[in-house]
Amino acid sequence: MLDRLYRPTLRPAGYATMPPGIKWSFVEVPMAMASLRRDLPVSIHLYGVVETDRPLTNDEMNRFALVSHP
């Protein structure tokens, strides 16, 4: 699981801001979403932390401004 956690660095995760064809979900939500997803912890990171269904390639991480977490 740890190799599938990522932090968006330039914008929130969402449609067209994550690599196409992957499934992803928040594991820590940004403060702005705290009231919408009370089932998840609030992240200290500006855009939260997401988990993907597979590890991303370096190219995908670079193209979509994602960094590995932790």
pLDDT in tens, 22-34: 999 999 999 998 9
Tens of pLDDT along 45-57? Answer: 999 999 999 999 9
The answer to whether the CB of 64 falls within 8 A of the CB of 18 is yes
Distances in Å between the Cα of 56 and the Cα atoms of 1, 10, 11, 28, 42 are: 12, 17, 17, 18, 24
Overall average pLDDT of the 44-70 stretch: 94
Element (H, E) at 24: strand 24-28
pTM (2 decimals)?
Answer: 0.87
For the chain, the structural domain boundaries read 2-17+25-68
Tens of pLDDT along 4-18? Answer: 999 999 998 988 899
The 3-state DSSP class for residue 57 equals coil
Distances in Å between the Cα of 57 and the Cα atoms of 3, 34, 52, 69 are: 11, 29, 12, 14
